[in-house]
């Protein structure tokens, strides 16, 4: 493959990846809003949108690795840096690659934060249900002097029918 062809392929690939990353960031923002509003239907829709974006990014990543391989470079950061330097003496591709990785890192951070929030909400709902049903236990994990986890005692229900 000629360097000009590879550069055009990489340029198009970066555009696809940037579009998928932007859509993923949008889906994460919608997910945050749906969580805030407790909108289950919106959460389901954003979950599906996230999966589509991630599938597109994974396909792009496989294509990027193939492009690196065709150019005789590895797909790791060192190989990618060498390839970008070889294809793009002006630095435009390298800047776009840097912007893309920054955007993807922000998406990963947002997704992790959302996972923590979902976990906290799930735990709070489970504890509330257990309390209302009268089989609540101290759900926190405590550790004894020997380092083993042990459960706390049961609480009395707050009401009965």
User: What digits encode the pLDDT tens for the residues 22-39?
Assistant: 999 999 999 999 988 888
pLDDT tens-digit series, residues 47-57: 999 999 999 99
In the beta sheet, which residues pair with residue 150? 142
Residue 150 has pLDDT above 60, yes or no: no
Q: Convert the pLDDT of each residue in 116-148 to its tens digit.
A: 888 888 898 888 888 888 875 655 555 566 666
| CB count in 10 Å sphere of residue 42 | 15
Which pLDDT value is given to residue 54? 96
Distance CA 73, CA 82 (A): 7
Distance CA 97, CA 78 (A): 13
CA distances from 35 to 90, 102, 120 (A): 43, 25, 12
Residues 3-113, CATH architecture: Up-down Bundle (1.20)
pLDDT at 80: 92
Confidence band (pLDDT; 50, 70, 90) for 158?
low
Which pLDDT score, from 0 to 100, does residue 112 have?
93
């Amino acid at each position: 493959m000629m360097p000009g062809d590879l550069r055009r392929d990489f340029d198009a690939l970066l555009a696809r990846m940037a579009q998928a990353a932007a859509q993923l960031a949008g889906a994460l923002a919608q997910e945050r809003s749906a969580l805030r509003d407790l909108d289950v239907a919106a959460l389901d829709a954003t979950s599906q949108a996230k999966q589509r974006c991630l599938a597109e990014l994974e396909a792009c990543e496989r294509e990027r690795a193939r492009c690196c391989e065709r150019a005789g470079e590895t797909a790791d950061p060192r190989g990618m840096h060498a390839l970008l330097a070889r294809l793009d003496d002006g630095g435009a591709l390298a800047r776009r690659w840097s912007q893309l990785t920054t955007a993807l890192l922000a998406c990963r951070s947002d997704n992790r934060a959302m996972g923590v929030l979902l976990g906290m909400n799930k735990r709070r709902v489970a504890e509330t249900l257990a309390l209302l049903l009268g089989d609540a236990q101290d759900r926190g994990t405590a550790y004894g002097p020997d380092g083993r986890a042990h459960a706390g005692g049961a609480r009395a229900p707050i009401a009965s029918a």
